[in-house]
Amino acid sequence: MKTKKIKIEGEFIRLQDLLKLGGAIDTGGRAKNVIQNGEVKVNGEICTMRGKKIRPGDSAEFKDLVLIVE
Instruction: Tell me, letter by letter, the H, E, C secondary structure of 7-45.
Output: CCCCCCEEHHHHHHHCCCCCCHHHHHHHHHCCCEEECCE
pLDDT of residue 50: 87
Given a contact cutoff of 8 angstroms between Cβ atoms, the answer to whether 67 and 59 are in contact is: yes
Express each pLDDT in 5-53 by its tens digit. 999 999 999 999 999 999 999 999 999 999 999 999 999 999 999 899 9
pLDDT of residue 26: 94
pLDDT of residue 70: 97
Whether the model pTM is above 0.85:
yes
